[in-house]
Amino acid sequence: MTKTIFPENFLWGGATAANQYEGGYLSGGKGLSTLDAITGGNHTTPRMITYKTKEGKIESCTRGAALPEGAVGYVDPDQYYPSHVATDFYHHYKEDIALFAEMGFKCFRLSIAWSRICPKGTMEVNEEGLAFYDKVFDELLSYGIEPVVTINHFDIPMYLADELDGWSNRKVIDYFLFFCETLFKRYKDKVTYWMTFNEINFLRSWTQIGIHDNDQQAKYQAAHHLFVASGKAVKLGHEINPDFKIGMMVAYIPSYPMTCKPEDVLEALKFNREQEFYMDVQVKGYYPAHKLKEFERENVVIKKEAGDDEIIKEGTVDYIGFSYYMSTVSASDPSEVKYVGGNQMPAVKNPYLEESEWGWAVDPLGLRISLCKLYDRYNVPLFVVENGFGAVDKIEADGTIQDDYRIDYFQKHVLAMRDAIELDGVDLIGYTPWGCIDLVSAGTGEMKKRYGFIYVDMDDEGNGTLKRSRKQSFYWYKDLIKNNGN
């Protein structure tokens, strides 16, 4: 008899984000979000933010850059914006959920579009938006699929960005908490697993958090407001339903020293600390000493209100959700490194690893290393909520899609999780591969960079029928779930 490694209640599933998958631009009372003003791009052409200057001139800048003071996000009718349709879950949710159920999903990770619930991000509620997610959750639950909800995934209502300068303004905490309270009360009997912010360590620009200034002072002041908001949301959620499991979510990219030279080891330590900082605050409940020293050196002064530290301490999360796609390398001498592609940031080439077509290092053992490091450091349950392989998929003459490269990637990463559970004793509660159905790439805005088990007929210019087709990996994942990873 095969020994069972993964827990009986392990949450196998898949992950998506509203701005990359949902579509339904301005449908059903939805308001504008920052990501509605981000154009498409590709591996060599960056995505652009379109905006109007104070003088009313239409201009654009690279996604992630700082907008000029007084500039406001603008949707130009002559531009293509992938988020507006994405792959149209808004109109295909029943079909898609049926496909997820066919694969045997135990859970489905999705995000809720803030501007669909609160069109301006303020304390005005759009009932039609709430009703849409009611239908989605009811459809999931009818198949026995547990919703896993990311409350905020990489965007902010446009009004809050343009009028309040986003998360640099403390007022946004109250608006976010109202949003959370609305969700917690409405879906308290439908959703158990929540995460406050997606990849909180990558929230650093107008695109994601609505701030117009990207310097260190502005970035960390906004981060403090995010921490306070998350702490308050965790505490509020537990008051509304004590059975809620509310986690944080971080992009985890472990860095190895280039050599055993102590200076390289120190550089790797510094790199890893920057990611761990966000977990330290949200899991341990306080700012680590090394970060406070960094603030002193950089003249960063975090403006706090009385009680902020207590809120952060009392609002620690129940689990860590994290994305894992790749690892990187650190070196003390910049001339020794070669930069390649990476998840929301450039990464350093590791000569011992293969890379995807987009330059992302493929490092399954790095997932086991990450699980061990995080569990050793925090001793709370872990949830791999993103992991996947972006590639160009080809439809064969017979209509099949033979994505053996994706199956190979997943097999090796699942084995890494098995080892972390069986050999290292890691408490791992679930696994939701990223883009379980094809969606728009966050980094490049492309469709040809596909992650899904399900193919969606849509190209980089938004042309296509949106027809759904099963890839070979669909059947592989179905079998994996059926056998609980064994």
pLDDT tens digits, residue range 90-110? 999 999 999 999 999 999 999
- pTM of the predicted model as reported, rounded to 2 decimal places: 0.96
Q: Please write down the long-range contacts of 308-312, taking CB distance under 8 Å and 24 or more positions apart.
A: 308/224, 308/228, 311/228, 311/231, 311/232, 311/235, 312/227, 312/228, 312/231, 312/281, 312/282, 312/285, 312/286
- 359 in a domain, yes or no? yes
Domain membership of residue 137 (yes or no) is yes
Active site residue 127: no
Sign of CA dihedral 247, 480, 434, 86: negative
Asked if residue 185 is part of any domain, the answer here is yes
pLDDT bin (cut points 50, 70, 90) of residue 78 is very high
Within a domain: 6: no
pLDDT of residue 336: 72
In a domain, 5, yes or no: no
Total of domains in the chain: 1
- pLDDT at residue 406 greater than cutoff 90: yes
Q: Which of 3-17, 21-35, 93-107 shows the lowest per-residue confidence on average (mean pLDDT)?
A: 3-17
Does residue 255 sit in helix, strand or coil?
A: strand
Mean pLDDT of 14-33: 98
Give the confidence band of 88 by pLDDT, cuts at 50, 70, 90.
very high
Catalytic residue, from 386, 422, 446, 461: name it.
386
46 close to 134: Cβ distance less than 8 angstroms: no
Q: How confident is the model at residue 258 (pLDDT cuts 50, 70, 90)?
A: very high
Q: Is residue 225, in this structure, part of any structural domain at all?
A: yes
Q: Is 87 contained in some domain? A: yes
Pairwise CA distance, residues 393 & 60, whole Å: 31
| Domain assignment present for 2 | no
pLDDT digits (tens, 9 = 90+) for 187-227: 999 999 999 999 999 999 999 999 999 999 999 999 999 99
**CATH code assigned at 376:** 3.20.20.80
Q: Place 344 in a pLDDT band, splitting at 50, 70 and 90.
A: low
Task: Tell me how far apart the alpha carbons of residues 454 and 433 are, in angstroms, rounded to a whole number.
Answer: 12
How is the chain split among helix, strand and coil, in percent rounded to 5?
40, 15, 45
- For residue 136, the enclosing domain spans 11-483
Nearest to 455 by CA among 406, 411, 394: 394
User: pLDDT averaged over the chain?
Assistant: 96
Give the β-pairing of 468-470 and 454-456.
Answer: antiparallel
**What average pLDDT does this structure show over 162-189?**
98
Alpha-carbon distance of 354 to 411, in angstroms, equals: 16
**pLDDT band at 339; cut points 50, 70, 90:** low
The Cα–Cα gap between 76 and 71 comes to 14
How much is the pLDDT for 318?
98
Count of other CB atoms within 10 angstroms of residue 135: 11
